Structure 1
Amino acid sequence: MSSIEQTVTSRSASVFSLFSPTLLPATLMLGGGVVLYAVESYITATIAPSIVRDIGGLALFSWMTTLFVAAGVLGSITVATRPRGIGLRAVYVAAALIFGAGNLICSVAPAIEVVLAGRAVQGFGAGMLGALGYAFIRFVYPQPLWRKASTLYAAIWGVATVLGPTLGGLFSQGSSWREAFVVLVPLAGVMAISARWLLPLVEDGRAQQKTPILQIALLLATVLLMSVAGTTEHISSKIILLAISMASIVVMLSVERKSANRLLPQGAVMIGRPISRLYLIMFTLMMVLTSDIYIPYFLQTLHGVAPLVSGYLVALVALGWTLAAFLSASFSGKRASVAIIVGCILETAATASLILFLARDNPSGDPFLVGPAVLAMFLMGFGVGLGWAHLVTKVIGLVGNFEQDKASAAISTVQSLGGAFGSSLAGVIVNGAGLADPGGIPGSMSAATWLYGLMAMPGLVAVVMSSTLKPTSA
């Protein structure tokens, strides 16, 4: 046992232990990589309207997010499928440089097509950085701190939902959007240079195998189809695209089950295995959470809440995630398993309760309706944050060393898939329920009722799956 492990036990460990003099350099590097991925996801969403106003390309507007998400999934996969002999530290250097290059391309883009190319490059590097945060955990920290590191990353994603749009707002005037990309280039360069001294040299312990090209292609097709479905206005097209994407993921999982060249850890596609249920819980939690994208619209339309205020209110979802992550950071064993179950129940119940409090005609902004709706938003995020770090820790602890990179990369992939599928499905539900036709108050009430009723159902899957997990000592 190392000196760090002797002084850090499961009882004494806290999130602040990650910032001890010995661990601070690695924490800054790994946490910084997650920050770049998380914050950039929201910055560009804020400045995207400014980009098309300045250089045109409204018809390609949605592809700025679509390509970033798809490339991010490919980047996370690359961490696990990289050529043999390339260590994680070298991958980190490459990821930081690729991310910086993507930002540089976007900053000098004369046309929207160049911005899209930059977003793809940027997303690829960001996806690698996000997956590397999880992949490095077992090499940088003693086991009692694995859960704390996962807590930190979860908190970063929560904070990013507020910080990203805020920073984006500073660069949303005229051509100032270019500066939003430029400011991250030097930071990415510093991180690439510093990795050699601040991150450990990790031996590549993966088993020898060929790259699972077919599974990767099917997974990327799924992400792209779901992303496109989320942006098309025609409900029939949405349904067709979602159906094809679901068929694509089913084929991918079937190929994965039979193939000797696996993309995911062993047992990840067999529901009888704990690791499969862990990934399914992560997927459904993220899927349910994305129903919050319509909350600002319903607050403004049904409850007379000002646009700026509605934006800050929906940020309570992120605040709930962050606070719960820190609250449950010290849990272990049975308490951690209970936190996962309670978190799944809270998110599901809070989402369903929005039928009662958000799907109401309340033009005067009656606080007896708005107040409970705001609390429900907070509890949606709180439920996810309560168990997310423990889910990550269980995944890392379940697989052997030769499959750790696959398991870590799959966390980011499942998170992105859940978000992409959830947002696309939410679009199908609200449009089918009358958000645009008949529209107005009746359409919004109908859309909100169906949205939060149907989107709560995957949460029931998470509740059932979480109840089957056994406590671990990690």
Structure 2
Amino acid sequence: MSSIENTAPLKSASIFTLFSPRLLPATLMLGGGVTLYAVESYITATIAPSIVRDIGGLELFSWMTTLFVAAGVLGSITVATRPKGMGLRAVYIAAALTFGAGSLICAIAPTMPVLLIGRAVQGYGSGMLSGLAYAFIRFIYPEPLWRRASTLYAAIWGVATVLGPTLGGLFAAGGAWREAFIILVPLAVIMAFSARWLLPDVADDRIDTRTPLIQIILLLAAVLFVSIAGTIEHGSYKVVLIAVSIVLVATMVLIERKSEVRLLPYGAAMLSNPIARLYLTIFTMMLVLTSDIYIPYFLQTLHGVTPLVSGYLVALVALGWTIAAFFSNSLSGRQAAAAIIAGCILETAATASLIPFLSTATPFSELAEFAPAVIAMFLMGFGVGLGWAHLVTRIIGIARRTEQDKASAAISMTQSLGGAFGAALAGVIVNGAGLTNPGGIAGGLSAANWLYTLMAVPGLIAIVLSFTIRPASA
């Protein structure tokens, strides 16, 4: 099953073992798929204004992200619901070609509706690539390296939050938004053809390959509604859309409990089951972390920080995630369980500490004035990175062998859901607290206070859940 047959020498191996000659090809292929998904999310957000200026379609602006996210969730689901007998390598090839096709459509799009089609196709392919990274772990690496591989993928997301906007800015500055898509086409083709030689052809060990169509429809509808809620300005519409999304997800969970055809691995819809608490911890941590999307606004409006500097400061959240991921990757057993608990506590405490650090109207001109907020931002990401790989490894470790693909796909799905719900909820909070009305300094102060007060609450749930997660050796 693994590319390395003798796992004994790897029990104390470092993350750099993933880049050993025998593992490097597969690591590059799987890490490359995650990188495409992560970086592309941020590149397009940066070049979107240039796209609208060129081909119009401002009224459809928000759908560039909405369709990409929804299609990405569907793509991750496809990894687990693919036709019987279709191996993961074949899915990877199809995913890379799909991503390349979507990128080509975006590059040549004459109008916004055509570009949106391309974004949906692109998102579907990248969602599959992201889900495949976790699905392939158990076939590529021996078990002692699962946590290291999960750490690497987590670190890629952290780096992408810095690399994506930077690359997007370069293309946007030159008005070369089409080139930002076209360069991805040959890259996707190379990845597709390389997969045949660089990834193993593993057998499909699933038993139940029936498609849980009702659950998929409910989940996609929930993602679409909550993503739209995150892009509209009207507060009451946001609340309604989020409420509908919650109802749809709750309905999906109830159906999962009773249905013989499941979207999620066994036990994921029952809070009494450990795997359900693992997924819920991932969801709540991502939801809390998404509150960082308003940090640049508060820095600029309340503290006089320039847009460029505020952009680099918020990147500290990603830097914290990346550093923590590497810091904790060698932990195991009780230490890993403690890292999950410590990570949830750190993220929640750091989020709450932004209340006094950001919700003031004091200009940041000296380093000492920046320091508390800078540390808090760094620790938000550090907390997530500290426990992320251990959460992923525990899910893969306790899921039934025949449901490993479902378990892996659900990781990406849960991550996307947490981000979508977090962005929408944050929008409801800040708009209800006065970000736009009365706006200005007064509105910003009120919005910052309420945002980081209320967004810390899900963090408390994550802390409680983390104490119920038993060490892998237990």
Q: Same fold by TM (over 0.5)? A: yes
1:350 is matched by which residue type in structure 2? A
Matches of 1:373 and 1:43 in 2, distance apart?
26
Matches of 1:48 and 1:289 in 2, distance apart?
23
Alpha-carbon shift at residue 44 of structure 1 (Å):
0.3
Are the equivalent residues in 2 in contact too, given 1:154–1:322 (CA < 8 A)? yes
Matches of 1:153 and 1:368 in 2, distance apart?
34
1:23-42 aligned at under 5 Å gives the runs 23-42=23-42
Q: Paired residue for 1:103?
A: 103
Give the 3-state SS of the residue equivalent to 1:262 in structure 2: coil
Alpha-carbon shift at residue 361 of structure 1 (Å):
1.1
Matches of 2:447 and 2:313 in 1, distance apart?
20
CA distance change for structure 1 residues 364 and 389 in 2, over 3 Å: closer, same or farther?
closer
Alpha-carbon shift at residue 12 of structure 1 (Å):
2.2
Q: Paired residue for 1:325?
A: 325
Q: Paired residue for 1:440?
A: 440
Matches of 2:341 and 2:295 in 1, distance apart?
25
1:219 is matched by which residue type in structure 2? L
Q: Paired residue for 1:211?
A: 211
Q: Paired residue for 1:170?
A: 170
Matches of 1:469 and 1:274 in 2, distance apart?
7
CA distance change for structure 1 residues 60 and 8 in 2, over 3 Å: closer, same or farther?
farther
Are the equivalent residues in 1 in contact too, given 2:2–2:138 (CA < 8 A)? no
1:121 is matched by which residue type in structure 2? V
Q: Paired residue for 2:360?
A: 360
Give the % identical residues. 72
Give the 3-state SS of the residue equivalent to 2:441 in structure 1: helix
2:138 is matched by which residue type in structure 1? R
2:124 is matched by which residue type in structure 1? F
Are the equivalent residues in 1 in contact too, given 2:2–2:140 (CA < 8 A)? no
Matches of 1:431 and 1:382 in 2, distance apart?
28
Are the equivalent residues in 2 in contact too, given 1:50–1:174 (CA < 8 A)? no
Q: Paired residue for 2:6?
A: 6
Q: Paired residue for 2:305?
A: 305
| Displaced runs of 4 or more, over 2 A | 1-12, 363-370
Count residues with an aligned counterpart: 474
Is 1:471 matched with 2:466?
no
Please list every run of 5 or more consecutive structure 2 residues that lacks an aligned counterpart in the other structure.
none
Alpha-carbon shift at residue 427 of structure 1 (Å):
0.2
Matches of 2:462 and 2:364 in 1, distance apart?
36
CA distance change for structure 1 residues 308 and 193 in 2, over 3 Å: closer, same or farther?
same
1:118-157 aligned at under 5 Å gives the runs 118-157=118-157
Matches of 1:126 and 1:373 in 2, distance apart?
34
1:343 is matched by which residue type in structure 2? G
1:213-292 aligned at under 5 Å gives the runs 213-292=213-292
Alpha-carbon shift at residue 175 of structure 1 (Å):
4.3
Give the 3-state SS of the residue equivalent to 1:6 in structure 2: coil
2:452 is matched by which residue type in structure 1? Y
Alpha-carbon shift at residue 364 of structure 1 (Å):
5.1
Matches of 1:234 and 1:133 in 2, distance apart?
38
Matches of 1:453 and 1:430 in 2, distance apart?
11
Are the equivalent residues in 2 in contact too, given 1:35–1:160 (CA < 8 A)? yes
Matches of 1:291 and 1:221 in 2, distance apart?
23
Alpha-carbon shift at residue 41 of structure 1 (Å):
0.6
Deviation per residue, 1:421-459 (Å, 9 max, x gap): 000000000000011111111110100000000000000
2:435 is matched by which residue type in structure 1? L
Matches of 1:339 and 1:364 in 2, distance apart?
33
Give the 3-state SS of the residue equivalent to 1:75 in structure 2: helix
CA distance change for structure 1 residues 27 and 209 in 2, over 3 Å: closer, same or farther?
closer
2:430 is matched by which residue type in structure 1? V
Matches of 1:369 and 1:291 in 2, distance apart?
21
Are the equivalent residues in 2 in contact too, given 1:341–1:467 (CA < 8 A)? yes
Are the equivalent residues in 1 in contact too, given 2:426–2:455 (CA < 8 A)? yes
Matches of 1:44 and 1:335 in 2, distance apart?
39
Q: Paired residue for 1:395?
A: 395
1:61-100 aligned at under 5 Å gives the runs 61-100=61-100
Are the equivalent residues in 1 in contact too, given 2:2–2:141 (CA < 8 A)? no
Give the 3-state SS of the residue equivalent to 1:246 in structure 2: helix
Deviation per residue, 1:13-36 (Å, 9 max, x gap): 111000000001100100111011
Deviation per residue, 1:193-250 (Å, 9 max, x gap): 0101110111011013421000000000000000000111100100010111111101
1:149 is matched by which residue type in structure 2? A
1:59 is matched by which residue type in structure 2? E
Matches of 2:402 and 2:379 in 1, distance apart?
38
Are the equivalent residues in 2 in contact too, given 1:355–1:452 (CA < 8 A)? yes
Alpha-carbon shift at residue 414 of structure 1 (Å):
0.2
Matches of 1:5 and 1:86 in 2, distance apart?
24
Please list every run of 5 or more consecutive structure 1 residues that lacks an aligned counterpart in the other structure.
none
2:446 is matched by which residue type in structure 1? S
Give the 3-state SS of the residue equivalent to 2:468 in structure 1: coil
Alpha-carbon shift at residue 365 of structure 1 (Å):
3.8
Are the equivalent residues in 2 in contact too, given 1:357–1:369 (CA < 8 A)? no
Matches of 1:68 and 1:176 in 2, distance apart?
21
Matches of 2:420 and 2:2 in 1, distance apart?
42
Matches of 2:131 and 2:364 in 1, distance apart?
46
CA distance change for structure 1 residues 55 and 336 in 2, over 3 Å: closer, same or farther?
same
Matches of 1:22 and 1:174 in 2, distance apart?
41
Matches of 2:2 and 2:249 in 1, distance apart?
43
CA distance change for structure 1 residues 3 and 267 in 2, over 3 Å: closer, same or farther?
closer
TM-score normalized by the length of structure 2: 0.98
Is 1:181 matched with 2:205?
no
Matches of 1:143 and 1:242 in 2, distance apart?
39
Are the equivalent residues in 2 in contact too, given 1:285–1:459 (CA < 8 A)? yes
Matches of 1:399 and 1:357 in 2, distance apart?
42
Give the 3-state SS of the residue equivalent to 1:272 in structure 2: coil
Matches of 1:280 and 1:391 in 2, distance apart?
10
2:281 is matched by which residue type in structure 1? I
Q: Paired residue for 1:199?
A: 199
Which range moved further: 23-32 or 172-181?
172-181
Deviation per residue, 1:252-311 (Å, 9 max, x gap): 101111100000000001001100000000000000000000000000111111110000
